[in-house]
Copies of this chain bind each other. A is one copy, B any other.
């Protein structure tokens, strides 16, 4: 155990910066999700706000105004800026090319550390859903307190089913951090299990879903990167030194393409866990990564046999169940189909079943093979 210094009970505004990596195509949500309009830009809950907007809405009470950094691909920077008019231009980090999550989150952490030395940062994907925001806030506050004590902290979701779509976190002993009564050591991260293994995890207990939420002091995170990926760390430091200067673009152009492509899980979380420096705050706040239309269906009001994302007046269902996504005013009529998925967009209509929701990816692959990039 090498965690350093005691923590405070609660992070105040300015002491916590949220990093929101906004990436991922969400091909299992085609034809809603497209290359130019990926999942995080979509309102998939009928809330009137995109997943990205909801993510920022959820984090701002923890960070205060101006405490969110969004990292996204250059192709989506304009759309992100449009959806988040409150985001200062310097808080939108546009990647010239995809270099995976360690580079993206590392750069954001280094920029935050330059601006506010000693700050705690937390990384939260732009395309997940959280139902109970108050419980989420309480968990993040515990994670921030644990991070102040020197840990790299992850929030571990209490499993409510033997899911095979998520990695798991194996929980160790309680840490006794002040202000973070739930914090435990992480024994290990484990890959997405098969169905039997997932059932065994639930039966054994002590396993949490890895929702990819990492909280740490920026200097701790960068220290881990320096220890495990020194070249990547050196590049990130160069970029961060130039970020809030006129040299940003020049240095970005020179350095970014040289950065190692590696996930933060491999570059930081797993080696740190092996060294006993990772903590988990278990929590249960209704989390979902909305990975496919079956997951989407569970988020929608269950006031009709066919759940509707959009205007229910545009769906006429008879003796059917499933989920329908009408688009642009056209009527969707569904008759005599169970567990069906119907998605209408201006240039493509998808008809499948909830049971086949994961295989929607294969439709996208088929379209790519056919050269239909206009539909991707």
Residues of A within 8 A of B (CB): 31, 316, 318, 329-337, 340, 342, 344, 346-353, 355-356, 359-360, 362-363, 366-367, 370, 372, 375
Contact A356 B335 (CB under 8 A): yes
Told that A331-B372, A335-B351 touch, could you supply 9 new A-B pairs with CB distance under 8 A? Answer: A316-B363, A318-B363, A333-B348, A334-B351, A335-B353, A336-B353, A336-B359, A337-B351, A342-B349
Bound state CA distance, A348 and B335, in angstroms? Answer: 13
Contact B316 A367 (CB under 8 A): yes
Bound state CA distance, A316 and B366, in angstroms? Answer: 8
Residues in B with CB closer than 8 Å to A348 are 330-333
The 6 A-B residue pairs with the shortest CB-CB distance in the complex, in nearest-first order = A336-B356, A335-B352, A331-B348, A333-B350, A334-B351, A333-B363
7 CB < 8 A contacts A-B: A316-B370, A329-B347, A331-B347, A335-B356, A335-B360, A337-B351, A351-B351
Please name the residue on chain B nearest to A313 by beta carbon: B370
Number of copies: 2
Contact A342 B331 (CB under 8 A): no
Give which listed residue, B342, B349, B355, contacts A330 with CB less than 8 A.
B349
Contact B349 A332 (CB under 8 A): yes
Give which listed residue, B316, B336, B359, contacts A335 with CB less than 8 A.
B359
Bound state CA distance, A31 and B330, in angstroms? Answer: 12
